[in-house]
Chain A
C-alpha cells in the first residue's frame, strides 16, 4: 500500500527534488573543480595568494596613495580599488545631478526644453556605454587642443591633458572621460526614473500646493519631490549599482581601476582563479555596501504610516 503510493506522495517528491538538486549541484562543482585542479596541475600553477606579495613591476598613472612599480601586486590592487571607489562616488554624484535635471526637464512646460531632454535620453540610452566611453576619450578628449593652449570657458580649461576646474583641481583625460561617460549614460536612466516618480504624485498635490500660494518651483521642491522620492529611491539604487559595475569599463579608456589592475596582474602572473576570486569578492562587497546604504536611506524617506 505504502509502496504504490510513493509516486503520488508529495512529501516524497519534495524530499527527492531537493536531494536531486543537491546531488546535481555538488557533482557539477566536483566535476568543474576536478578539471580545474588537473588543468592547473598540468600548467604547473598552485593555488594561493602568495603572489600578492611579489613585485608588481608596472606603473599606474593615477594613484590616491603613494605607489611605485617596485611595490607589490597587493598594493597595486589596492590602488586600483581606491581608484574604482573614486570613480563610483564621483560618477554617482554627477549622474544624479544630470539625471534629476533631465528628468525634471522632461516634464517642463517649455516645449523646447522637453524635446531636448527627450532627445538626450533616447539618443544616449540606446547606444552602448563602451562605445560612448571610446567616443568621449578618443574623439572628444584626445582631440582637444594641446595642454599649453587649452580651451577656456567659465574658468574651466579643457585640453588633451584633461580638465582643470576653477579651484585648481585638475583631472586626467582618462578619469574625466570615464566619469563623464558613466554619468551621462546612467543619467538617461535616472531621468526616466525621476520622470516616472514625479508623474506618480497625484495631480491634487500640485493643485493643493498652488492653492497654498506656492510657486511652481517651490511646489516642486517642497511638496512634489519629497513624495516622488519614495517611488524614485528603489530603482535609483539599481542604477547606482549598475554604475558601480559599469565603472569596470575603465580599462577601455586606460584608467587603472580595480579590474584594469587585476587584468594586468593576470597577464603577468597567469593567476586566473585567484584574480577571479578577488574581483568577485570586491565587486560583490561594493554592490552590497551600496545597497546597504540605499536601504538605510530608503527607510528614512519611506512613508511611516500611523
Chain B
C-alpha cells in the first residue's frame, strides 16, 4: 500500500484492509451491532428476493404499459396532445428562467453588499419575473382548456398527472395571496381584524382536508348565487385554496415574526408609510425566510390532491382506480399503486431536496 491511498476519502477506498476496517467500525462493533446487522441483512434479502420474484414472475406490468397515456394525461384527446407538450415546454422554460434568475440574483446581492449605500429598490427584475410567470400561467391554462381559437377541452377529459399538476399549481398560486393577507391580518395590531384572521386560520387547521373538500363540493354551489353548476375541478381547487391559505399563512407568519422590529422602525424613520414599509422592507425579507416552509406546504398539497380521487376526479390516484376497474386488469392493485406511488415520489422527493437546498442557501 502506498501512503497515498491512506489519505484517500472513504468512499473511494477499495483496499481489503480498509474495507475490513470500515465494516468493523460501521457494522460489527460489538456483539449487539453484529447481531443487528445480520438480522437486517436477513430481512433485506428476504424482502428483495420476494419482491424480485413477484416483480418478474407474478406481476403483470401490462396494466401500466398499455395505460401510460391515461396515467399521464387522462382522457385528453389524442389530436390535442401537442398542447400538453407546449404547456410543459413553457413550464420548463419558466423553471429555467427562475434558475437563471437565482444565480443572477446571488451575483447581484454580492455586488450590492460591496456598496453599502444601496439605494431604494428600482422596479426590480423580480417584479418582471412575476409578471412573466403570470403570463406563462395564463398561457398554460389557455393551451390546456382551449377557447379563443383553440378547440375546447373540458376538464372532465383532464386526468392523470396532468390534472394533479394543474390542480396543485393553480391551488398554491391562488392560495398564496390569501395566505399572505391572512398572515398580515393575524400579525396586525387591529384587534378585530386579527381576531377574524386567527379564527379562520385555526378553524381551517382544525378540520380534516376531506371535510373541506366535501364542503367545497357540496356547499359551494349552495352559497353562490345563480347557476349552481360549477365545474368539479374548480370546486376542488376552491377547497384546496381555502385549506392551504390557512397553512401558508402560518408559514408566512413565521417569516414575519422573524423580522427584527428595527427593520420596521428604520423604514419608518426613512419616512416610508406603513404600506411601503410592508411592500419594500418587511415582506421581501419575510417571504425569503418563509420559502422553505412554502415549498414544504406545496409538497403536502401535491400529495393532498390525491384526495380528489374520493370526489370522482380522475387525477393520478383517481385514474389509477379507474384503470383498476377495466375488466382485463381486475385485481392488479399492487402494480398500479406502485407505479402511481413512484410518480408521486419522484416529484415530492425532488421538491424536498430543492427545499433543503433553499434552506441551506438562505442560512449560509
Contacts and interface: CB of A to CB of B under 8 A. Distances in A.
Interface in B44-90: 44
B209 interface: yes
A139 B334 contact: yes
A216 B93 CA distance: 53
B178 interface: no
Interface in A217-276: 245-249, 251-252, 259, 263, 266, 272-273, 276
Interface stretch (B98-106, B151-159, B305-313): B305-313
B228 interface: yes
B33 interface: yes
Interface in B20-34: 26-27, 29, 33
Contact of B349 (A17, A33, A126): A126
B193 interface: yes
B26 A18 contact: no
Interface stretch (A34-42, A63-71, A151-159, A198-206): A34-42
A130 B211 contact: no
A127 interface: yes
Contact of A128 (B185, B206, B306): B306
Given A126-B348, A248-B210, A134 B317 contact: yes
Interface in B201-217: 203, 206-211, 214-215
Contacts of A266: 214, 218
Contacts of A247: 208
B208 A288 contact: no
Given A35-B224, A283-B208, A284-B207, A134 B345 contact: no
Given A134-B333, A138-B333, A280 B218 contact: no
A21 interface: yes
Interface stretch (A48-56, A96-104, A108-116, A296-304): A108-116
Contacts of A208: none
A234 B135 CA distance: 42
A125 B302 CA distance: 12
Contacts of B299: 126
A130 B27 contact: no
A25 B206 contact: no
Q: Is the interface of B mostly helix, strand, loop or mixed?
A: helix
A6 interface: no
B176 to A, nearest CB: 20
Contacts of A263: 214
Contacts, number: 153
A18 B211 CA distance: 31
B160 to A, nearest CB: 14
B62 to A, nearest CB: 17
A22 B192 contact: yes
Contacts of B337: 131, 134-135, 138-139
Given A35-B222, A116-B44, A128-B306, A276 B190 contact: no
B208 A246 contact: yes
B27 A259 contact: no
Contact of A127 (B209, B303, B321, B334): B303
Interface string B320-364: 110000000000011001101100110011001000000000000
Contact of A110 (B33, B221, B341): B33
A14 interface: yes
Q: Is the interface of A mostly helix, strand, loop or mixed?
A: helix
Interface string A84-123: 0000000000000000000000001111110010000011
Contact of A21 (B190, B210, B228, B304): B190
Contacts of A284: 203, 206-207
Contacts of A22: 192
Interface string B214-236: 11001101111100100000000
Category for how many chain B residues contact A: 35 or more
A135 B26 contact: no
Contact of B190 (A18, A142, A259, A280): A18
A131 B334 contact: no
Q: Of residues B192, B210, B225, which shows the largest number of chain A Cβ atoms within 10 Å of its Cβ?
A: B210
Contacts of B92: none
Category for how many chain A residues contact B: 35 or more
Contacts of A82: none
Contact of A135 (B41, B185, B203, B333): B333
Contact of B218 (A18, A32, A109, A276): A276
A149 B211 CA distance: 40
Contacts of A108: 36
A127 B215 contact: no
Contact of B348 (A127, A132, A248, A288): A127
A21 B198 CA distance: 13
A279 interface: yes
Nearest to A116: B40
A276 B27 contact: no
B126 interface: no
Q: Of residues A109, A142, A266, which shows the largest number of chain B Cβ atoms within 10 Å of its Cβ?
A: A109
Contacts of B44: 112, 116
A132 to B, nearest CB: 8
A36 to B, nearest CB: 5
B191 interface: yes
A18 B206 CA distance: 26
B258 interface: no
A126 B44 CA distance: 21
Interface of B: 26-27, 29, 33, 36-37, 40-41, 44, 185, 188-193, 196, 203, 206-211, 214-215, 218-219, 221-225, 228, 299, 303-307, 309-310, 317, 320-321, 333-334, 337-338, 340-341, 344-345, 348-349, 352
- List the 3 shortest-distance A-B pairs measured between CB atoms, nearest first: A126-B348, A111-B26, A128-B306
13 contacts: A18-B192, A21-B193, A21-B196, A112-B41, A112-B44, A126-B299, A126-B352, A127-B348, A129-B306, A130-B317, A139-B338, A259-B210, A266-B214
